[in-house]
Amino acid sequence: MDQPVTGRTDPEGVGRDADGRVVLFGAACPECGTRFFPATAVCPHCASEAVAPEAMPRTGTLYTFTTVHAGPRKWKKPMVVGYLDLPNGVRVFAHLRGQVAIDDVLELGLDTIGEEDGKPIVGFVFRQMGGV
């Protein structure tokens, strides 16, 4: 984490750092050192309940991705989704934006990923560095 976290915002698990940049809230286990996202009350590695909230890095390396053409009505389609490896060892599943390739370094942002009851569904996405 390069900036202190100032507070949580919607969607769940997303907040902002002191500079107003989007950050994911995960957790870390002080007993075994495992970091994970999304945060849970119990460590997925050692089952400790002593987990602590932790802001995740804002960039990640694209491990794999796919384009989805069919799915629930509420999601924008086609949608590109994939797994990113964060510098702290956490692998995150996310919607992707822009032209991406495996091993690209992508940065975190927010975007509309669907619509439900006429209202946008906003979620975290990863996109090219400096992307809009």
pLDDT in tens, 59-102: 999 999 999 999 899 999 999 999 999 999 999 999 999 999 99
What average pLDDT does the segment 19-41 reach?
Answer: 95
> So what's the pLDDT on residue 17?
85
Give me the pLDDT at residue 12, please.
Answer: 76
Nearest alpha-carbon partner for 23 in 102, 88, 103: 88
Percent of the chain with pLDDT over 90: 81
Higher pLDDT, 126 or 132: 126
- Whether pLDDT at 6 is above 50: no
What is the DSSP secondary-structure string of 28-75? E-TTT--EESS--SS-TTT--S--EEEEPPSEEEEEEEEEE----TTB
Q: What is the pLDDT of the chain when averaged over all its residues?
A: 90
pLDDT for position 13: 86
Query: Residue 132 contacts by C-beta under 8 Å, 6 or more apart in sequence?
Result: none
Q: How many CB atoms lie within 10 A of CB 116?
A: 11
Q: What is the pTM of this model?
A: 0.85
8 Å CB contact between 132 and 110: no
Residue 2 has pLDDT above 60, yes or no: no
77 neighbors 70 (Cβ within 8 angstroms) = yes
Q: Which of 19-23, 24-28, 95-99 has the lowest average pLDDT?
A: 19-23
